[in-house]
Amino acid sequence: MAPMGIRLSPLGVAVFCLLGLGVIYHLYAGVISNRIAAFTSKRTVNLRDLLALSVEAAVQGGREVKRVREEDKLEEKTKGKTKEGASEKLTQGDLNSHRKMYYLIKNTYPYVQVNSEEHDETNNELGVWNRDIPADILKSVEGGRDVPADSITIWIDPLDATQEYTENLLKYVTTMVCVAVDGKPVIGVIHKPFTGYTAWALVGHGSNMKPRTTYNMNPPKVIVSRSHAGKVKGFIEEAFGNTTVILPAGGAGYKVLALLDPLDEDIEKADVYIHVTFIKKWDICAGNALLTALGGHMTTLKGEEIDYSGAAGNREGLLASIKVDHQDLVAKLPAWDSSDKH
Ligand SMILES: Nc1ncnc2c1ncn2[C@@H]1O[C@H](COP(=O)(O)O)[C@@H](OP(=O)(O)O)[C@H]1O
Ligand SMILES: [Mg+2]
Ligand SMILES: [Mg+2]
Ligand SMILES: [Mg+2]
């Protein structure tokens, strides 16, 4: 009860309490934010679980890609133009696949950074992962290590080779998921929706893919983009001579598969993959992880590793190889300047 003669106003009490809270917050703000940071950074994610989830996401996205094509409901649009002026296509296949893949991962690990090529905030999917680990993953990956959630960046390409998808060149089409830890690619999944095959790898633990037994370097058969080639032909001829066989193909995922022992009879065989125009990390991270897991390399044209954290763009070109001296290949390439118009 208030002492005689003093009347407490409810408004005054509320203001007093708020001031009190403000003083406490001011004194303890650092402590509170540290506690929150400690709570979030303590979360860890198991990489074998994440590999199985990545495979499931790529397969579910792939089903959408296939269905939209079979029902002929592409509703093709243009997103804009690449730096070189080519039109960047977007279809219902890209968008439906994005929704399946993105939300399956986000609904399972909401606190992990997921960067997709496509965006659609208005149509959330409710799908959750059933936590099944496929038998081939259980067989080759024992346990898998746990990594802090805040060290992970996931890159997803819901439909790679959209240009070829619109042209009905379906063997080039893939869906891809990549997991980078501290910027290094550690999980790569490349799924082919139209044949149903999935290539996966967890660096240091295993893969369902393997390199071919031989690669020819005198001169190599070089696989390149068919729709974003830039000046790649001259670049390759300067490096390996005018008789070099250049194989134009769609899709960054497909071109990495062409360097390996083929998953299916659709895939051509190449010795080296070179790209000279701008490209994004969701196009190349999964292939980089697969190659790294199998002892190969994917670097810029100067031979530098690509950091898969931060911004999406890579303007330094791409050189991918396996079972050969990669730095020796770098040394054969002409001088490279990303500011040149390639
Ligand atoms: N110059 C460029 N600018 C932007 N994206 C590029 C590019 N060159 C290639 N890409 C992207 O890289 C992927 C493989 O390209 P390509 O078939 O020409 O080798 C395609 O991905 P998407 O189909 O996922 O958009 C394509 O859009
Ligand atoms: Mg792509
Ligand atoms: Mg794409
Ligand atoms: Mg695209």
The per-residue pLDDT for range 298-315, each reduced to its tens digit, is 999 999 999 999 999 999
Contact 65, 93 (CB under 8 A): yes
The per-residue pLDDT for range 231-278, each reduced to its tens digit, is 999 999 999 999 999 999 999 999 999 999 998 888 999 999 999 999
Q: Is 80 helix (H, G, I), strand (E, B) or coil?
A: strand
Q: Considering Cα of 300, then 80, then 66, then 167, what sign does the dihedral take?
A: negative
78, 84, 91, 160, best to mutate for ligand 1 pocket (most atoms within 8 Å of CB): 160
DSSP 307: P
Contact 175, 199 (CB under 8 A): no
* The pLDDT value given to residue 203: 98
* Choice between 228 and 341, residue whose per-residue pLDDT is larger: 228
Sheet order of strands, 206-207 included: 113-116, 152-160, 174-181, 184-191, 198-202, 206-207
Backbone angle region of 62, left / alpha / beta, with phi > 0 → left and psi within -120 to 50 → alpha:
alpha
* 82 Cα to the center of ligand 1, angstroms: 9
Average pLDDT, the chain: 91
**What share of the chain in percent tops pLDDT 90?**
80
| Burial (0-12, 13-18, 19+ Cβ within 10 Å), 222 | buried
Asked whether the predicted pLDDT for residue 70 surpasses 80, the reply is yes
**What share of the chain in percent tops pLDDT 70?**
88
Which residue ranges have their beta carbon within 6 Å of ligand 1?
82-84, 117, 157, 160-162, 225, 227-228, 250-252, 277-280, 283
* The pLDDT value given to residue 212: 97
Q: Which residues pair with 65 in a beta bridge?
A: none
Residue bearing the CA closest to ligand 1, atom 10:
279
Is 0.95 topped by the overall pTM? no
Residue 85 CA, chain-centre distance (Å), reads 24
89, 162, 228, best to mutate for ligand 1 pocket (most atoms within 8 Å of CB): 228
* Choice between 102 and 37, residue whose per-residue pLDDT is larger: 102
DSSP 133: -
Contact 319, 270 (CB under 8 A): no
Token code pair at residue 172: 């080039």
* The pLDDT value given to residue 144: 81
Q: Is 110 helix (H, G, I), strand (E, B) or coil?
A: coil
Q: Relative to the CA of 159, which ligand 1 atom is closest?
A: 24
The per-residue pLDDT for range 20-52, each reduced to its tens digit, is 665 555 555 544 554 455 455 559 999 999 999
Residue bearing the CA closest to ligand 1, atom 15:
251
CA distance 172 to 251: 6
Amino acid sitting at position 40? T
- ipTM > 0.90 for the complex: yes
Asked whether the predicted pLDDT for residue 72 surpasses 90, the reply is yes
* The pLDDT value given to residue 2: 43
Contact 317, 338 (CB under 8 A): yes
CA distance 152 to 51: 13
Asked whether the predicted pLDDT for residue 3 surpasses 50, the reply is no
